[in-house]
Copies of this chain bind each other. A is one copy, B any other.
Amino acid sequence: MSDAPRQLSLNLFLHPAGHHEAAWRHPSSSPDRIYDADYYVQLAQRAEAAKLDAVFFADGPVLHRGVEFNSVGHPEPILTLATIAAHTERIGLIATASTTFYEPYNLARLFATLDHLSHGRAGWNIVTTAAADAAANFGLDAHPDPEVRYARADEFLRAATRLWDSWEDDAILLDREAGRYADPSKIHAVEFAGEHVRVAGPLNVKRSPQGHPVLVQAGASNAGRDFAARWAEAIFTAHQRLEDAQAFYADIKAGAHRHGRRAEQVKILPGISPFIGSTEAEARILERELNELTVPEYGLRQLGTLAGVDLTGLELDAPVPLEIFSGAGDVTDNARSRLQVVAGIVERERPTTRELLHRLAGARGHRVVAGTPEQVADTIEEWFTRGAADGFNVMPPALPAGLDAFVDHVVPILQARGLFRTEYTGTTLRDHLGLGRPANRYTRERAEAELVGAGAGAEGGVR
C-alpha cells in the first residue's frame, strides 16, 4: 500500500450507439458507424486522452431480440479491442467472453494474445451468458442452469490460469549460439481434468506481460457473487441507490476476504449513465429527448422478457401493476436480481408504465443521473468516499456526444478534486487499477520445492 490518496477507477463502457435504448435515433449518436473500426478507435482515443483506466465492451453469443427497434448486433469485442490496441498506448482493454460457450484453450489463447499485442492492457469480463437462446447457437437443447454454468466457469478459470502460467516467465532462452530456444523444464503441461473442462496444455503462446489478463466479472446473482469473490479483480455492478451499493460493496469485500484475498484486490465499479448539461434543466431536457424517442412496443417486450410475462398492450399511462413482479417463476437467477432492482423502483416510486419504461431505457437498470458536471462529480465522489464504489463504469447515453461531455466537463472536476489521475503512472491495466502481477504457479511450486530441499516438487516440464 502506498501513501498516495485513493484514486477513482473510470472505464468507458462502449456500447454501439450509446447506452440509452433510443440512442441510435438521436442526432448526437452515429449508428451508421457501429461496424467501423475508426469509430471505436476514436472513442478509445478520447477516453485515453482523459486518462481513463480502460474501455470495456459487453457481448453475448446471440442476437438479442428487438433488432427491429434498436441497434443490436455489433463487432466481436476481442478483435475490436485488438484494433483499438494498435492505435492507443496506455488505456486498458476489457472484452466480454462467455465461459459457457467458449473452449478454455481457445479463449486463454485469445486473451494472452491481446495482452501481448497491447503490451499488458488486456482484461477479460467473465460471463456465463444468461441469455437462454444462446444455447441453440451451440447445439444445446436447453440452456445450462446457473449452478452448472458457474461450476463450469470455476473450472474454466482454474484451467485458464494454469494455461497462462504454463510458460514460466524465463522459459525462453533465445540462445542462438547453443541452438536452445527454450528451457523445456520451464514449459508445463497443465493436465487439468474437471467435471466440465479438461485441458492438457501447455498453451502455445508465452506468458503475457500481465501474467494473467485482469479478471473482471459482472454477474450479481448469488452464484455470481461467490464466483466474483473468488476470482474477480474488478466487478461491474448495477445499483440505483447508495445503500444498496454499500451493502453489495461490503458483501463482496467480505467474500473476497473469506477466499483469502485483500479487499483492495477487488475493485467494485457500478455503472453510471450521466446526462450532462450546463444546467440541471438542460441535462433533463436531453434525458427527455431520448426518452421520447423510445418505442414503447420494444420497452414492453424487454420488460416482459425480464419478468417472464407477456406485457403486450399494457396501458402506458396507468401505474405499473405490481403483480407483474409476483409471478416471475421461470426467469434466470441473473434476471431475478435485475428484476428485484426494477421491483424496488416500482414499489418506492409507483410510476406509470411509460415512466418506468423511460427509467429502464436509460441504461438497462444501471443508475442514470442528470445534472451539471459538478452534480455528476458530486454523485461520483459521494459513492466513492462512502463505501459504495472504487470507481465507475461510465455508460454515456449516446456516443460519441455523451463521452465528450463526460471527459470534457466531469473528468477535469474529478482531477481538480484530487480523485482522479492527471497522467498515467504505469503502462499496464494492472498498473492503472493498482493490481499486482500474479506470480507464476509453477515457478512458485519450484521455489517451494527447493525450500523443502528435495527439489522434486515442481511438476516436470514438457517438450
Chain A contact residues, CB within 8 Å of chain B: 22, 24-25, 31-32, 35-37, 41, 60-76, 78-80, 82-83, 85-87, 101-103, 105-106, 109-110, 112-114, 116-118, 133, 136-139, 167, 174, 176, 179-184, 187, 197-206, 293, 295, 463
Q: Pull 9 A–B residue pairs with CB atoms less than 8 Å apart, ordered by A.
A: A25-B179, A67-B184, A68-B184, A79-B117, A82-B83, A101-B106, A102-B106, A138-B198, A139-B197
Give the shortest distance, in Å, between A386 (CB) and chain B (any CB).
39
Q: Are B181 and A24 in contact (CB under 8 A)?
A: yes
Indicate the member of A35, A105, A112 with the most B CB atoms within 10 Å: A35
Contacts of A66 in B (CB 8 A): 463
- Number of this chain's copies in the assembly equals 2
- State the CA gap A72–B76 with chains docked (Å): 28
Q: Are B137 and A199 in contact (CB under 8 A)?
A: yes
Contacts of A187 in B (CB 8 A): 63, 67
Contacts of A82 in B (CB 8 A): 79-80, 82-83, 86
Q: Are A78 and B75 in contact (CB under 8 A)?
A: no
- State the CA gap A182–B67 with chains docked (Å): 6
Contacts of A62 in B (CB 8 A): 204
Q: Are B101 and A105 in contact (CB under 8 A)?
A: yes
Q: Are B83 and A295 in contact (CB under 8 A)?
A: no
Contacts of A198 in B (CB 8 A): 136, 138-139
Chain B residue at minimum C-beta to C-beta distance from A32: B174
Chain B residue at minimum C-beta to C-beta distance from A166: B63
Q: Are B180 and A69 in contact (CB under 8 A)?
A: yes
- Which of B60, B167, B179 sits near A69, CB closer than 8 Å? B179
- State the CA gap A198–B142 with chains docked (Å): 13
Q: Are B174 and A67 in contact (CB under 8 A)?
A: no
Given contacts A71-B181, A76-B110, A181-B71, contact A204 B463 (CB under 8 A): no
